[in-house]
Amino acid sequence: MASPLIIRNLTSTPIELKLIERFQAPGQAPAKTEENSNNNDSGFGSLAKNFTTLMNNVTNTIQSPTNLELAANAQSFSHKDVNIRIEPFEVLKTDIPLKERDDHEIMRLTFENAGQRYRLDVPSPTSRSTSLTPLQQNSKFEYTGVYLPQHSYLSLYSSARLNSWMGKLKPQTPLSALSIPGTHNSATHYLALPSVRCQAVSVTDQLNNGVRFLDVRVQPENFEDPNADGLILVHAVFPISLTGNKYFRDFLNEVTAFLDQNPSETVLMSLKREGVGKSTDQQFSKILHDHYISKDKGRWFTDNRIPRLEEAKEKIVLVRRFGVDDAVKGYNNNAGFGLDASSWPDNCEDGLCVGGTIRVQDFYEVEESVNIDKKIKFCHTHLEKAGSLVCPLPGAANAAEAPHPFFINFLTASNFFRPGCWPDRVAAKVNPATVDFLCRRHNEKEYYSTLAEKRAIGDGSTGIVVCDWVGEKGDWDLVRCIVGHNSKLELRENQ
């Protein structure tokens, strides 16, 4: 028997559950009751008939209906008015059963905020997040629901416009306070060896769907020629495409085009030299400086400090995972050449870069698929640490404090020699586990009280969460959940 419904409100406003309706799932015969046993052609019987057009001609299986199809054809067998209020960031354990008759029911929940109503069906036609349907025109709010059937758990998020979500936050917000989705080896969406490919979609698609941290690995093509600007995109010693070299210049053009179209946004870009050539970090730093950054200075933020959002809008914030040439060290009036991540701790559970601006979880050596659980634990612990922090804001008691460091949390791992540990296989386990954690446990009081190492309830930031294979087949749930955890910070900024 499924547990009663649990609802978590991860938005900055109270929400009230007003109506609960129940429907028989299309294509399923209802459980026999005295009410319907003598009336097979009405109610559920006609509902099943109405959905015969959803039969797949090839497989002869029922396809899930859309919300519009369900609304047009369904007749509820249960209709209950309620008044259940869920405060911002509250978890409410209700006594609402998931099922009343059988396992083939759909429960429709109608929520209200500021006199406007929004509707959600659980379970939804797909396993992904679902936008709540507004029941009026010119709706003030947008909501996303993530339903976890194994826990009878519904999390409600404010729906941000993923191409411009940073615009909702105050200009003085330090970037390290934000919940930022990122991608690992961001350029590796091309046809490639399965151990090399880490992404499902292009960088433009990633950015338009909320990603704001890009991890890029390059190899100088002709480092001995000071006039050569070629930087080949690589993953370790491998090219990222089986059809020929791909270049950083083209990748960068996609990023700048996105920023031109979305001036409220910023992109953090981690750059690292890899590949099989004999070039050095110092040579790479000269190429990057001379041929890219110095020719477009207004596009880059290269100080060695954590910027505020207003300083970084429409810019690329350089995260430097390489050493620099002496000729480059004095760049930008000795303010540095990017956030210094050149002392990146290798294969670490929790490490701090020299200078203290970056704290990272990047445990990646997964020797067996069973070790992925160890990786998941490290990821979730780093989320807990980030979520417990409280951002210093103007007017707040801690306003004079320096911004806390970037918490960079890699959900990625791989083992070239083990197909079960290739990037897509690891992501298939880590990503759903992280969605579950963000929905049910991140910055959640009852869960934090059970931890051996006690955690404070903070702003609920996730830090920078770096992922593989987001956006595959249109699945952006992980990114939506990460962006959604900016709501508590946004609430503090507007109080």
| CB 361 within 8 Å of CB 442 | no
What integer is the mean pLDDT of 324-340?
A: 88
Residue 345 burial by Cβ neighbours in a 10 Å radius (0-12, 13-18, 19+): middle
Least confident of 172-181, 216-225, 328-337: 328-337
Q: Is the pLDDT of residue 48 over 90?
A: no
Q: In terms of C-beta density within 10 A (0-12 exposed, 13-18 middle, 19 or more buried), how is residue 278 classed?
A: exposed
Which residue in 366, 361, 377, 390 sits closest to 437, CA to CA?
A: 377
Alpha carbon of residue 267 to chain centroid: 15
Query: Helix H segments across 277-354?
Result: 281-288, 309-312, 326-329, 331-334
The pLDDT value given to residue 93:
98
> pLDDT of 84-101, one tens digit each?
999 999 999 999 999 888
pLDDT band of 396, cuts 50, 70, 90: confident
pLDDT at 221: 96
CA distance 341 to 323: 9
Say if residues 196 and 235 touch (Cβ distance below 8 Å). Answer: yes
Among 17-26, 348-357, 443-452, the least confident range: 17-26
d(CA 487, CA 168): 10
Q: What are φ and ψ of residue 96, in 5° steps?
A: -80, 115
CA distances from 384 to 202, 217, 447, 478 (A): 30, 29, 11, 16
Q: What b/e readout covers 283-294, taking b as 16+ CB neighbours within 10 angstroms? A: bbbbbbbbbbbe
Domains, the chain, in order of start with CATH, read 6-158 (no CATH), 165-493 (3.20.20.190)
Is 35's pLDDT higher than 80? no
Residue 71 has pLDDT above 80, yes or no: no
Q: What does the pLDDT read at residue 66?
A: 53
Q: Which whole number is the average pLDDT over 299-314?
A: 97
Q: Are 296 and 252 in contact (CB under 8 A)?
A: no
- Tell whether the model's pLDDT for residue 25 goes beyond 80: no
Q: Helix or strand or coil: residue 397? A: coil
The pTM of the full predicted model, rounded to 2 decimals, is 0.90
Mean pLDDT of 212-230: 96
pLDDT score recorded for residue 225: 93
Segment 227-282, tens digit of pLDDT? 999 999 999 999 999 999 999 999 999 999 999 999 999 999 999 999 998 999 99
Q: What is the pLDDT of residue 124?
A: 80
User: Mean pLDDT throughout 119-129?
Assistant: 85
Looking at residue 160, its pLDDT comes to 81
Q: Smallest Cα–Cα separation from 411: which of 452, 456, 381?
A: 381
pLDDT above 50 (res 182)? yes
In this prediction, residue 28 carries a pLDDT of 61
Instruction: State the average pLDDT for the chain.
Output: 90
CA atoms within 13 A on the CB side of 227: 0
The arithmetic mean of pLDDT across residues 286-297, rounded, is: 96
The pLDDT of 36-55, averaged and rounded, is 40
Q: In this model, does residue 340 exceed pLDDT 50?
A: yes
